Amino acid sequence: MRSGLDEAKRFLVRTSGCQMNVHDSQKIENLLCHHGYTAAEGPEDADLTILNTCSIRDKAEHRLYSELGALREWKAERVGRVIGVGGCVAQQQGDALLRRFDHLDFVFGTHNLRWVGLLADAAGRGERTARTQESRSLERFDLPGPHPDQRASTPGRAYVTVMEGCDLFCSFCIVPQTRGREVSRPVDEIVRESQALVAQGVREITLLGQTVNAYGRHDGRRGALDRADSIPFAALLRRLAEIPGLSRLRYTSPHPIFFDDALIVAHRDLPALCPHVHLPVQSGSDAMLRRMRRRYTAGAYRSLVQRLRRVRPDIALTTDLIVGAPGESDADFRATLDLVRDVGFVDGFSFKYSPRPGTAAALDPDTVGPDAAQARLEELQSLLRGLTLAAHRDRVGQVTEVLTEGESRRGGNQRTGRDPYHRVVNFADTADPPIAAGSLLLLELVEATPHSLIGEALEAQTSVRAGSALKRRTSRADEHWRNAGPSA
Ligand code: 5AD
Ligand code: SF4
């Protein structure tokens, strides 16, 4: 219950979509804390609800409409409640959303996060505003540091944005419309932010960007300013990997065409760089890749995988795949199955094509019927499930290092975390006091399940969790992997 003295307005941010949106929600929450708001416990005590939206497929967009519908009642329950919509649907629809939903107070686009506090204040005065101006300026990255009241959602782990936007315009994808043109942050800012996070106890940083390895690309289309203050992506990884105390570095999502030799070699040279790459392939058919405007062939993708595996044989690869995009024949789909099988992805996200407004593919009349698309999705998912389980079974008996995240869904003393390969590992915590979220822990993998691995803490090490002792254990894990990895 809120006391009468407590005047700070309370916010709730609900997020759909990708890691970029999850991170944007963290930025929104931090901005609101700096603006004098505090986090609500739940909808009952919230004064402001923000929906941070995704429009990558129509399902995600429809989720916004049903959530907004449900919020009508929430708003009516107390005078002064405010609703804001941000993210990709906000960017795409702007004030059309305000016209369509008369109980919606404000809309802010993906380049306009920093206005959220002022827009919420204005809404409190009865002003309904949509702010969705696109910009290529770096101002949008100029955000305040972490507010002391902001709760760390994932202790020990953090996202750092290195670039935003996409200039590639794949035929099926709405992202270039919702996130605008590519903009890279200055390297010094990225390094400073990462250093500050590590000083606060962060052990794993995931670099974010729509095409993250296009960071700082010098292809003649960039402004002079960007060229001077950014460096190639692999050089950025090297700078960050040098930060003392940073145990793990990840990045998502890279595009195959920007995966250069320097990035491959970084996977050989940088112990902090995790042996996992999420590398979206979308299709295994050259005809489809051309139609999708992906700018590589299935052969080029396979060769990239080979070169990566040559330097880092144990690397775990995951991917994104689309079935049923316009023009996809059964033979095209079979080529996708072949590629998935040949590469041996450890996991993959597979989607049924969803036509998006304003994209080239949405105008393509050569559509695939819903039943065929559904059947393909099921066949692909069954193949992926088999690959995941086989990969998990192969790992049983190995020792891995897990960054703990807290209680697992199974409750009790069951904890969960991720290993360097980004696999979920569950384990029983028998330590007293319990192991804190954000700790690094060596586990022996004892069982494989379809979605995760089960680990057991190594004997005589259950109580060792942090500081210098941890470093010793980390290096033992590295040694284990050097010995256990298949040869090139
Ligand atoms: N339909 C289905 N899936 C899509 N994706 C992007 N656009 C669409 C679409 N129109 C998928 C791609 C991308 C992932 C984030 O979402 O696989 O990599
Ligand atoms: Fe979308 Fe293609 Fe850009 Fe990825 S590279 S965000 S799929 S347009």
Q: What percent of the chain has pLDDT over 90?
A: 81
- 323, β-bridge pairs: 352
Q: Is the CB of 162 under 6 A from ligand 1?
A: no
What gap in Å lies between CA 26 and CA 306, rounded to an integer? Answer: 37
Q: Is the CB of 282 under 6 A from ligand 1?
A: yes
CB 18 within 8 A of CB 25: no
| Predicted TM-score (pTM) of this structure | 0.91
Q: Which ligand is nearest to the CA of 17?
A: 1
Q: How far is the CA of 276 from the centre of ligand 1 (A)?
A: 21
CA atoms within 13 A on the CB side of 20: 26
What gap in Å lies between CA 258 and CA 213, rounded to an integer? Answer: 6
Instruction: Name the residue of 167, 173, 349, 353 whose CB sits within 8 Å of the most ligand 2 atoms, as the mutation to test its pocket.
Output: 173
Asked if the model's pLDDT at residue 488 lies above 50, the reply is no
CB 400 within 8 A of CB 442: yes
Q: Which ligand is nearest to the CA of 179?
A: 2
Tell me what pLDDT residue 218 has: 52
Residue-wise over 13-29: b if at least 16 C-beta within 10 A, else e?
A: bebbbbebbbbbbbbbb
pLDDT tens digits, 49-68: 999 999 999 999 899 999 99
Q: Cis omega before residue 329 (within 30°)? A: no
Say how many C-beta atoms besides its own lie within 10 A of residue 388's C-beta: 21
Tell me what pLDDT residue 346 has: 98
> And the tokens for 387?
């690959």
pLDDT tens digits, 131-146: 999 988 888 888 998 8
> And the tokens for 102?
């008369």
CB-based pocket (< 6 A), ligand 2: 166, 168-170, 173, 175-176, 210-211, 255
| Alpha helices by DSSP H, 94-174 | 95-100, 116-124
Q: How far is the CA of 88 from the centre of ligand 1 (A)?
A: 14
DSSP codes joined into one string, 267-282: HHH-TTB-SEEE---B
Tell me what pLDDT residue 228 has: 64
Say how many C-beta atoms besides its own lie within 10 A of residue 119's C-beta: 23
- 415, β-bridge pairs: 407, 427
Which atom of ligand 1 lies nearest, measured to the CA of 356?
10
What gap in Å lies between CA 374 and CA 370, rounded to an integer? Answer: 6
Say how many C-beta atoms besides its own lie within 10 A of residue 357's C-beta: 12
| Torsion angle, alpha carbons of 58, 64, 65, 69, to 10 | 160
Least-confidence region, from 106-120, 147-161, 303-317, 335-349: 147-161
Asked if the model's pLDDT at residue 462 lies above 70, the reply is no
- Sequence-distant (6+) residues with CB within 8 A of 116 are 28, 31, 32, 35, 50, 84, 86, 108
Which atom of ligand 1 lies nearest, measured to the CA of 361?
10
**Neighbour-count burial of 197, counting CB atoms closer than 10 A to its CB (0-12 exposed, 13-18 middle, 19+ buried):** buried
Would you place residue 300 in the very low, low, confident or very high pLDDT band (cuts 50, 70, 90)?
very high
What gap in Å lies between CA 251 and CA 19, rounded to an integer? Answer: 11
Q: Is the CB of 351 under 6 A from ligand 1?
A: yes
Length of the chain, in residues: 488
Q: How far is the CA of 83 from the centre of ligand 2 (A)?
A: 30
Tell me what pLDDT residue 459 has: 66
Atom 5, ligand 2: residue with shortest CA distance: 168
What gap in Å lies between CA 418 and CA 20, rounded to an integer? Answer: 19
What gap in Å lies between CA 241 and CA 173, rounded to an integer? Answer: 32
pLDDT tens digits, 80-127: 999 999 999 999 999 999 999 999 999 999 999 999 999 999 999 999
What gap in Å lies between CA 110 and CA 101, rounded to an integer? Answer: 20
Token look-up 């990566």 returns 308
Tell me what pLDDT residue 174 has: 97
Higher pLDDT, 225 or 197: 197
CB 415 within 8 A of CB 441: no
Nearest to residue 438, comparing CAs of 485, 404, 388?
A: 404
pLDDT tens digits, 147-168: 888 766 788 999 999 999 999 9
Compute the Cα dihedral for 85, 278, 444, 481 and give only its sign: negative
Q: Is the CB of 353 under 6 A from ligand 1?
A: yes
Bridge-based pairing state of the strands 453-457 and 440-448: antiparallel
Tell me what pLDDT residue 221 has: 52
Tell me what pLDDT residue 282 has: 98
Which atom of ligand 2 lies nearest, measured to the CA of 169?
8
Atom 12, ligand 1: residue with shortest CA distance: 320
Bridge-based pairing state of the strands 424-428 and 453-457: parallel
Tell me what pLDDT residue 138 has: 85
What gap in Å lies between CA 220 and CA 131, rounded to an integer? Answer: 31
Which atom of ligand 1 lies nearest, measured to the CA of 359?
10
Least-confidence region, from 222-226, 368-372, 462-466, 483-487: 483-487
What gap in Å lies between CA 437 and CA 308, rounded to an integer? Answer: 32
Tell me what pLDDT residue 150 has: 77
Q: Which ligand is nearest to the CA of 296?
A: 2
What gap in Å lies between CA 444 and CA 460, rounded to an integer? Answer: 13
Asked if the model's pLDDT at residue 211 lies above 60, the reply is yes
Largest CA-CA distance found in the chain, in angstroms, rounded: 68
Please calculate the CA angle 217-221-224 and round it to the nearest 5 degrees.
Answer: 80
Say how many C-beta atoms besides its own lie within 10 A of residue 33's C-beta: 21
Which atom of ligand 2 lies nearest, measured to the CA of 166?
3
